Structure 1
Amino acid sequence: MTATPALAITQGDPAGIGPEIVAKAFRDAPQDLRGCFVVGDVATLRRAAACLERPGETSLPIARLASLEHLDQVPPRCLPVWQLPGLDAEPAPWGQVSAAAGRAAAACVVWAARAALRGEIAGLVTAPLHKEALAAAGVHYPGHTELLQAEAARHARLPVAQMPVRMMLASDELRTVLVSIHMSLRDAIEAVTVDNLLQTLEITHAALARSLGRAPRIAVAGLNPHAGEGGLFGREELDIIAPAIALARGRGMDVHGPFAPDTVYMRARSTRERAGEFDVVVAMYHDQGLIPVKYLGVDKGVNVTLGLPLVRTSPDHGTAFDIAGQGVADAASLIEAVRMARRLCP
């Protein structure tokens, strides 16, 4: 293996901005990308590198890896690619949903996940994929998180239900962890149970205790406006959320709430002027948690999957089909995801 533990970066949906932000990161942040390689297709990455070319500049070199043992020998500002067999010979057209692109994106994630589970690489950073393309390809998981959960469960020979995972979105100002991920709002409300919330708190506490080196201070957002206002706007806070918090505190976790969802993020946010009151906010559903973090800056946010027996991070944006192939996509969130993965690796 390499002197620096290798991180795999999956190319993402080849019709989206994933390949070009990967190429841009290798071009513009070579020190951060040392020890990283891309799992994907050489032709797709060459096309991505070509769309970044500036007048008078040399193209970003693409190196096809024969072995990870030689990764440290790849020079800076060169994009090393692990060519995955079985991918289509021609890259998918920019900006179009297709089953072929969905299959390619999923295959890269599965290869990298299995390599990480076998201990062959330190972890993986995933470029964006497209959920509609995944579905068109017959992939029975709505996104990265569920696909990685299934692979980890298979590796451990466990039912998926015994490999609980949670999504954390983190930036330098704010962290949030979600009780539920990719489901309808109606189903997400039904998923707010004592067991699910307690499990979320346990996963969050364990993960942040490892990364912070101390017990995290966890705030819990309510489900209803004003956190239910004492039962006037719903009883979930009284009947579900508060009992789960009490159980967590009884197990030694530093958990507080439930707090009004529209103000708890302001209290948790850390800035140069003041430290946040909490290390993380547990949100009841997807948009409740992700909107505040993304509003503070998509370029700074990193998606981290908690609960897996491997390190996985990703940028906090999607495939951006509308600008794919134009060379204008921002690689900042991907670079932050690589930095975060390095910090999380043992």
Structure 2
Amino acid sequence: MPNTQIQIFDTTLRDGEQVPGCTLNTKEKIEIARELERLGVDVMEVGFPISSPGDFESVSRISKIIKNATVCALTRAVPNDIEVAADAIKSAKRPRIHTGIGTSDSHVFNKLRTTREKVIERGVAAVKLAKKYVEDVEFYAEDAGRTDNEYLAMVIEAVIKAGATVVNIPDTTGYCLPSEYGEKIKYLQENVKGIHNTTISTHCHNDLGLATANSIMGVRNGARQIECTINGIGERAGNASLEEVVMIMRKHNDLNFDTGINTKYLSEISAIVSAKMNMPVQANKAIVGSNAFAHSSGIHQDGVIKSRDTYEIIDPEEVGALDSSIVLTARSGRAALNYRAKKLGFEFCKDELERHYQAFLNLADQKKIIQDQDLIKLFSVAATG
């Protein structure tokens, strides 16, 4: 039986671009949009057209270029937002309007200063208006993570009845525990009339480091779309990381989920987004960090040299990364030194290796990392000595 396909909704160009200092111009957005299409995302949210003339232009131009993915524009539950978004994506082959409103008590009573009933009315009106322009309408219940499940179910049922094709259940503040978020999706599955005719979407933030875990729990409980970004870039602590959710589903066959993502492009697009947005990727970042396939511990190096999967559950080639890296430090063992020596064209007997290893340790205590040129010099000095 084939795996259930999970739709990947990338919001790098909308939520990711909201990070201070990460603003992109239209040309840069188009370049990244093309890379996202090559990567194989199902939906790309490319902007918030009402926010500025520049954003409107970017959404409009991307809509004319992208052919294989759905192009989505964000709005509030405000008529003018929706009308402007509809104009921006009118040339898209697969257009989607993403509209919504806050549903938690904090949003309803403190931010919107309205009533729960009025929020439902506004949400329904927004979906109905968007439906006049496009068939594919996604509704987001902002701060759904902190919204009472019974009230959230009422909101979702009302917007589905109004014509929503996708319902987004955001953990806007990254508050939920995975079990809580999974139960929320399950509750909606079991208590909302008509929900099985729509797609449930996750949109999880990483304020407590749980965005990826919550996204996976969401699909395990019935969600069929994950909203995420390249490198996990996004507001505050970021969004669910595209490369993480994709590779979790790829590696865990028991989940019976997969995506249409061409994972061999993950490292490349990670680097492109990092450079364009001036957001360095932390070295220990899962999947795409510079140390993701690097080994410096002697025990780990020995295991990887003998069999890569001893310490690596992902083949670097799967994600377009360079080969596993054996980093020589004072923690490295004889096996790693011998491995690197052979790569450089040196062959040693056991006694020679031991002699070189002691010299290597003395040098490694002085330097943090031993480079190839250091080894060549070390081996050459020992040979002439």
Alignment TM-score > 0.5, same fold: no
Bigger relative contact order (CA 8 A; separation at least 6): 1
Query: So what's the TM-score if we normalise by structure 1?
Result: 0.28
Query: So what's the TM-score if we normalise by structure 2?
Result: 0.26
Q: Which has the larger radius of gyration?
A: 2
Which structure carries more helix by proportion? 2
